[in-house]
Every structure is written in C-alpha cells, then in structure tokens.
Chain A
C-alpha cells in the first residue's frame, strides 16, 4: 500500500525566510505527485504537480518542488515566504489504482 510522510508538522518562519517542506512516499511503481495548500477555513487547492519530465516543477505563488526518484521524495520549496503563505500544506501521491493518498500536512506560520 502506498503512503506519504511529511516530516514537519509545524513550521514557523519570519517573512523573507526560505522554506523547505519534506515529503517522502512509499510506492515502487509509477507515481504522480502533488502539493496542495489549505488556507484557514477553505478547501484544498493545488500548488503544483509532477507527472513526468523535468523533476523540478514550478507552481503558483513562487513555489517549486523537486522529485528525486531515488529518494522517493518530493520536497516543496520557496525562496522567500510571505505572511500570506500562512496555511497548511499537503503532499499527495497518486499511485496504485489511481488512489490519491495525502500526507499528514504541515502547518506553516509566517510571522510578519
């Protein structure tokens, strides 16, 4: 069975700091990978996605993620966070049978 692990449950940063959120998955077959963001009281919205090709993918709002197949990782990065990035971030894998599994989420707080 596939699973997703996000290492950081809570992250607190100051504005302009760099961000990296870890994500590892377990599934030996072909995968599609996603990062979603959930602002307080809202539903999940797609930040970026990896299907194939260039393992470095760029998403909205200056976010990017790198797929490292050998490490089963898909870490999310942003060079300079803003207060408006305060939200919860979810990594997800689409693998076996098109089942979409999410990690436990990382709550990011950006201090102004």
Chain B
C-alpha cells in the first residue's frame, strides 16, 4: 500500500519561512510532486522532484531524499495569499498519483 505522511496544520507569520515535511512509503517511485490547493479550488502544480536534491522555483523550493523516503517544501517570504493546503504526492506508475492528506498553512499578519 501507499503511505504518505505530512503534518495537518502549520501557522507562520507574513514574511517568514515555513518548511512542510513529507515522508512516504510506496510500492514504487517515479517522482514526487507538491501541489497547492486553495479552499474550494483544484490543486495547482508547484514542483516536481525525481532525483535527490533541491529544486528551486522563485519563493518555493522542494527537496527530495529517495533513500530516506523524505521530501520537504520550503516557502519563503510568506504572503497572505500563500494560506492554502499543500499536498505531497508520489507517482508510482506512469501517471497515477498517491496523495497525502495535505497540510493547511495559515499565514498571519
């Protein structure tokens, strides 16, 4: 089976940095994804890691360690609009994604 764990909630202050951790145990691995989902909306693609290391994309960075089954999403210079749910997902086939339950990030002024 697939087991993907991430914290339920995190709170941070505007302008700060927040790191969302994700650990996974899956039957296969063909990439790890992070999605952002605002309430009532569809998930939007943020990042993709398939090799170990850090991928940086503007204010967002994502890290992967395949040997540890571990990833994190780093959000810098937090803005109010970053308040959302962040979903960690593992692709274990050609396209099928297995998602964690999501981490709700609340940004406070």
Q: Are A and B bound to each other? A: no
Measured CB to CB, the residues of B under 8 A from A are none
Residues of A whose CB lies within 8 Å of any CB of B are none
